Each structure stands twice: as structure tokens, then as C-alpha cells.
Amino acid sequence: EVQLVQSGAEVKKPGESLKISCKGSGYSFAKYWIGWVRQMPGKGLEWMGIIYPGDSDTRYSPSFQGQVTISADKSISTAYLQWSSLKASDTAVYYCASGVIITTSFDYWGQGTLVTVSS
Amino acid sequence: EIVMTQSPTTLSVSPGERATLSCRASQSVNSNLAWYQQKPGQAPRLLIYGASIRATGIPARFSGSGSGTEFTLTISSLQSEDSAVYYCQRYNNWPLLTFGGGTKVEIK
């Protein structure tokens, strides 16, 4: 069974750093693109970026380029999303998602990680 | 950058009635369009890809149509469990993606 399991909720202060994770299982993690999607409170889905774990080829939405870093460790089937200096506006639920059966869409999603940034 | 615009923002439909959701692309995306359903507190779920192909396990009452810049998601006979927000997503330049703003479907 394909699963994407994300790390737990985080509460951080502005200016702090953070790295959240998404662990894949039940499929060849390195062979499928895995992306990150932001959902701010009460708002829609925003595509942030995507990585191919096999060679770490990474693409970013222009809106998120330079704001976050996406990485992956194929040896432990885990993708990451990190911030070097959080802002209150980073408060959101972050989803990882992958296209495994349908390789050009996201047919598998993580459960989401709530990140709260507040002083 | 291609912009995806969904309409209406909110749609209120009686059970058993048809719901028609629209998604418009600012440039042609051919048939490289997917639809997702998101219920409160849940991750999105893939409904349709390739503009009109139902994903595995998706009920036949959900159908997608269109190509180029105009797309439609139709729920032929709305059920109470279909209350959700629906998003379109273009992937014509995979792996670069864009979501639409979403349409909330309410049960009247």
C-alpha cells in the first residue's frame, strides 16, 4: 500500500528555522516526483515545488523560490520542506503529494503538517 | 505563468441535482488538467486526470470534460457526501503545476 506519512504539527516563533518531513512507503520512492502544497487557514491549495528523489532535480513555484528549500533523502524514502527564518505568514497546513499510478498528477497525499508561527 | 480561474466560488445544489463547475486556463493546457476534491480536515483526493479520466475508485457520477482553456467538472446527481471544495490543476508543463482557486459545493 502506497503511503506518505508526514511529521507532526509544529509551533514556532518568527525567525526560527524548521524542517518538516514526508516519508514514503509501498512504492519505489526514488522514481516518482514528490511535491509540496501549502494551504493557509481557510484558503485554497498552492503548489510550492517538487523534487525527483532519484537525482534531486528540484523545481519551485516562482511564489516560493528562495522562501523554502525542498530536499529528499532517497536512502530513507523521505522528502523535506524547510525554512531558514519563519514568518507569521508561513502559518498553514503543508501537504506532500506524489504521482505514483498517475504520474502527472498527485494521486497520493500525506495527511498534512500544521505549522503555526506565532510570537 | 498560466493562471487557472474557477467559477463559481460557491455552488449550492439540491441533493440529486446536477452540479457544474468551471475551470478556465489563461493559455491552452491541452488536456493536461486534473480535478481534486477536498473535504474539511482532509487531504485532497484526485478525481479526474487527463481532463476526463476518472481516477481509481471515483464514482461514475463525477465526469470531466473540456480541452484547451475551458474545462468542466460535472456531478450528475449530487449526494450529501459530495459537499466539498473542488480544485482544478494544470500540468501541461509537468512537473510545474498550478491550482485553481477552488469551488465550494454546498448541499442546498
Torsion sign (Cα): B1, B20, A110, A34: negative
* pLDDT tops 90 at residue A101: no
Q: What angle do CA B90, B96, B101 make, to 5 degrees?
A: 45
Residues above pLDDT 70, as percent of chain A: 100
Chain A residue closest to B35 (CA)? A105
Task: Give chain B's mean pLDDT.
Answer: 97
| Averaged pLDDT for residues B29-40 | 97
User: Cβ separation of A45 and B56 shorter than 8 Å?
Assistant: no
CB-closest option in B43, B49, B101 to A44: B101
Compute the nearest-CA separation of B98 from chain A (Å): 6
Q: Which B-chain residues 17-76 have CB contacts (< 8 A) with chain A?
A: 32, 34, 36, 38, 43-46, 49, 55-56
pLDDT value of position B1: 86
Chain B hits for A97, CB-CB cut-off 8 Å, are 43-44
| Averaged pLDDT for residues B15-26 | 98
pLDDT value of position A65: 97
Rounded Cα distance between B62 and A66, Å, is: 39
Rounded Cα distance between B48 and B62, Å, is: 8
Would an 8 Å CB–CB cutoff place A50 in contact with chain B?
yes
| Averaged pLDDT for residues A89-96 | 98
> B interface mutation test: which of A46, A59, A105 has the most B CBs within 10 A?
A105
| Averaged pLDDT for residues A73-100 | 97
DSSP state of A88: G
Would an 8 Å CB–CB cutoff place A42 in contact with chain B?
no
pLDDT value of position A102: 87
Identify whether the C-beta of residue B20 lies closer than 8 Å to the C-beta of residue B72. yes
Q: Give the pLDDT confidence of B1-16 residue by residue, as tens digits.
A: 899 999 999 999 999 9
pLDDT value of position A44: 98
Chain B hits for A59, CB-CB cut-off 8 Å, are 95-96
Q: Kindly report the backbone phi and psi dihedral angles of residue A23, in degrees, each rounded to the nearest multiple of 5, phi listed first.
A: -105, 125
Identify whether the C-beta of residue B67 lies closer than 8 Å to the C-beta of residue B93. no
Q: Give the pLDDT confidence of A53-80 residue by residue, as tens digits.
A: 999 999 999 999 999 999 999 999 999 9
pLDDT value of position B68: 97
Instruction: Compute the half-sphere exposure of residue A79: CA atoms within 13 Å on the CB side of its CA.
Output: 36
Q: Rounded to whole angstroms, what are the CA distances from A63 to A17, A23, B1, B8, B12?
A: 19, 25, 11, 25, 32
**Residue B64: beta bridge partners?**
B73
DSSP state of B77: S
Q: Give the pLDDT confidence of B49-103 residue by residue, as tens digits.
A: 999 999 999 999 999 999 999 999 999 999 999 999 999 999 999 899 999 999 9
**pLDDT grade, residue A103 (50/70/90)?**
confident
Q: Rounded to whole angstroms, what are the CA distances from A30 to A55, A56, B26, B92?
A: 8, 9, 33, 23
Identify whether the C-beta of residue B19 lies closer than 8 Å to the C-beta of residue B75. yes
